[in-house]
Structures are given as structure tokens and as C-alpha cells.
Amino acid sequence: MEGPRGLKARELPSAAELTNAIFRRNSPSKMEDEFPALFSMGNLDNMRVFVDAGKVVSLVGMSIKDAMIMGCKIRTVNIGAVCTHPEYRNRGLSTRLMEDATRRARRNGVQLMLVSGSRGLYRRLGCINAGIYRSFYIARGQLGEETGEGLSLRKYEEDDVVDLVKLHQSEPIRFVRPREEFSALLAAKRLCDLLSETYVISKGEKAVAYVCVQLPPGKEKPLVMMEFAGSRAAILGKLRDLMDEVGTASAIIESPSSDMGLECLLLAAGAKHSTRGFMGTVELIDPKGFLERIDPYLTEIIGTDRRGELTIACRPKPPELRFRYRGQKFGVSGIDRITAFFFGSLEGQLRSLPEEIKGSAPELGQLLAKAFPMPLVDYGLNYV
């Protein structure tokens, strides 16, 4: 048996066969069609595999992407399509592939790993549920009759892609997504592993927003908006028409907790809201590199003088952060707590970390609370 190693071009059909057998057993859909960024000739080395007698028997899919978070470019790796043929299970193959994928990600300058799952395999490797997001529920009857005046709503067409790229670029929290990839992801019509459609909202000839929605399986179910960009007022203004277009009477809108503009509009309309974590698990695999990437963000938040007085030491093994400010100090140990410190977490004791810092180092804790937790990118079209 060969591996862990990258996939070879001639093995791509075998990789598709394995993942379809595991994830699409009773479905006419094909993984290679739904996840074009993953199952592509340009991503072969990021498909980490074990191969036996010419057949792919275990696989961990990687998609290495840059993401923008509040003006800072972060290198990420999305992990998905993790599977092993039933006859080869309980041999530790997935664990070895995940360890191999993590090493490869670090060699490629990745700071942040996002995994579309929460199984014990990922937990054992240090992944947690992190991030703070808002889920809003709104019914059609809560939206006024005279909404969206002067705006039009229609399905996305291929010629719209440049307008969507520009709107997407205006978002402070997003994946960096080249035009070709954007086109391929939209053509796949899958959003976080469910059937989707994308709509463009225009004012006159100008596109002012777009929304990507999971289509509801029935009229009694809501549409789910999981990626959008552009004018929040325009999105809310055409939300009633969007519900009519897809044949439902309600909507769920997912957003980062930092999107206060959207939150204010939806709450004013009477939407109910709840809080959730990331749709999977997260691990900050290079805390030192991450700190270097976000230093401009941190300096803007706390100011140049205070940043000059704040020292942050990062130790790799065991993972530890040490903060010192005006005689006060505090340490965060363990990659789970470090990940939760930067992005927040709703999990158990991890959610109390901010209060823990303030309790032991009040002035330092108040300073750090201005910047952390910071928003975490959400999957949208980049789900794998």
C-alpha cells in the first residue's frame, strides 16, 4: 500500500469512486461535479491518499485558500471528503492522512485549518468548534409590501461573474476567490453540500448585491441564505420576492456576528435570532504566523502606543501564548484554548476564556477584549 501521498492524475476517477460510494451512495449526484475546486487536476497534490493495488482506499481532501479577515490576509486550508473504504477501516489511515495534511498545510504557509466535520478524529488532533455567528429567522409576513422599490431580482447568469467578484471583494470577511473558481463554484449549484441557487439584485443596470441560497425541500421549509455580498438594505428589500421566487414563506440568514448592519435591519423587521459556532471544527495550526498576519488589525484596534507596550510570546511545544502589558501578564495554553481565544467558542469551558483573562489581569483583559474574539470566515461557496 502506498501513502500518505498526493493523488496522481490517473487515480482521480478512483478517488471520485471512493467518495461517491461513501457520501453519495443513494444519490445521482457526483462529488466531482459538486466540488470542482477539490476534484481538479490543479489540486491533485492536496488530495492526500492511501492507494492499494491501484485503488484509492483512504482520502483526505485539502483546499488551500487565502481568506481576508478585517483587512488581514490569512492562509487557510479547508479539509473535507475524509473517508476510508470499509475494508480498510480501523487501521489508522485517516489519522495518518490528517497528520500528513496538517504537515503539508504548514509547509504551504497555512495558519488556519477549517474542517467540515466534528468527529473524534478531528477532536483528537486539536480541532474545536470555534467562531461566533448569527442565525436570523424571518417570515414573509414580517416584510412590508412596499420593499425593494427600484430594485430587481433575477437568477445569476454566467456573464454576471465579474459583478459578483467585485461585490465579494467588498466584504471584510471572505475567501479570496479568483474569477475562474467563482464561475466553477456557481455552476456547481451546491452550497454547503445542498442544492443552491444564486440571485443578483440590481438597481437599474448596476448589480448592488447577490445572494446564494440553499433551496428549501418543500414550501413549509425556509430558504437558507449562506453567502451574500453588497447592499444589506437591497438584500432585505428583495427578500420577500426571493421567498416567492423559490416558493417558501420564510428564510434563515446566516452571518458573522460582526455584521451589525444586517443585524440591525433584520431585528428591526422582527427577525428572531440565535447564535451558533462554525459549521464544523477549527484549529489554528500556526499561532505565531497568525499573530504576524493580524498585527495590523490589532494595532488599529488598540492603538500604536498600547500595541508598543503589549508583548506577545508564542511557544510552539506545548502551544502557549503569553501576554504582558504594564506589569500584568496572562497565559493561554493548549491549541484548543488558543483557537478559542482568537475566534471565540460556545463550547463548554472555552466560552468562559474572556472572563478568565479579565479576572486575573483586568487591564490586560480589557485591552485584549477590544480585539478578540475576532470574526471567523464562514464557508459559503467554499465548503468542501
Q: Is 162 helix (H, G, I), strand (E, B) or coil?
A: helix
Owner of C-alpha cell 504557509: 109
Widest distance between CA atoms in the chain: 65
Please state, in angstroms and rounded to a whole number, the distance separating the CA atoms of residues 3 and 189.
Answer: 33
Ramachandran bin of 72, using left for φ above 0, alpha for ψ from -120 to 50, beta for the remaining angles: beta
Tell me: the pLDDT tens digits for 104-137?
999 999 999 999 999 999 999 999 999 999 999 9
pLDDT interval class at 357 (50, 70, 90): confident
Question: Residues 210, 198: contact at Cβ < 8 Å?
Answer: yes
Residues near 120 by beta carbon (within 8 Å), at least 6 away in sequence: none
Runs of H (alpha helix) within the chain? 12-23, 31-34, 93-107, 120-124, 161-169, 179-188, 232-237, 239-246, 260-268, 287-302, 304-309, 335-343, 353-360, 362-369
Please state, in angstroms and rounded to a whole number, the distance separating the CA atoms of residues 53 and 320.
Answer: 44
- Phi, psi for 333 (deg, rounded to 5): -115, 145
Tell me the β-bridge partners of 250. 139
Tell me the β-bridge partners of 69. 72, 173
Q: Is 190 helix (H, G, I), strand (E, B) or coil?
A: strand
DSSP 279: S
Enumerate the domain spans of the chain: 2-110, 133-276, 283-369
Give CA separation, 153 vs 129, 150, 214, 299, in Å.
36, 10, 17, 41
Owner of C-alpha cell 448592488: 208
Please state, in angstroms and rounded to a whole number, the distance separating the CA atoms of residues 192 and 104.
Answer: 25
Give the per-residue pLDDT at 359: 81
Give the per-residue pLDDT at 146: 64
Q: Which three cell numbers stand for residue 107?
A: 509547509
> What CATH number should be reported for the domain whose range is 133-276?
3.40.630.30
Tell me: the pLDDT tens digits for 37-51?
999 999 999 999 999
Tell me: the pLDDT tens digits for 248-300?
999 999 999 999 999 999 999 999 999 999 999 999 999 999 999 999 999 99
What is the pLDDT averaged over residues 163-192? 97
Q: Which three cell numbers stand for residue 64?
A: 488551500
284 or 356: which carries more pLDDT confidence?
A: 284
Give the per-residue pLDDT at 144: 80
Please state, in angstroms and rounded to a whole number, the distance separating the CA atoms of residues 209 and 203.
Answer: 9
| Burial profile 26-62: b = 16 or more Cβ within 10 angstroms, e = fewer | eeeeebbebbbbbbbeebbebbbbbbeeeebbbbbbb
What is the pLDDT averaged over residues 228-239? 97
pLDDT interval class at 353 (50, 70, 90): confident
Tell me: the pLDDT tens digits for 312-346?
999 998 999 999 999 999 999 999 999 999 999 99
Query: 10 Å Cβ neighbour count for 187?
Result: 13
Rounded CA Rg of the chain: 22
Q: Is 367 helix (H, G, I), strand (E, B) or coil?
A: helix
Tell me: the pLDDT tens digits for 181-229?
999 999 999 999 999 999 999 999 999 999 999 999 988 999 999 999 9
Domain 133-276 in the same topology as domain 2-110: yes
Tell me: the pLDDT tens digits for 129-157?
999 999 999 999 999 876 678 999 999 99
What is the pLDDT averaged over residues 353-366? 84
Tell me: the pLDDT tens digits for 43-95?
999 999 999 999 999 999 999 999 999 999 999 999 999 999 999 999 999 99
What is the pLDDT averaged over residues 305-311? 97
Give the per-residue pLDDT at 149: 85
Would you identify the CATH topology of the domain 2-110? Answer: Aminopeptidase (3.40.630)
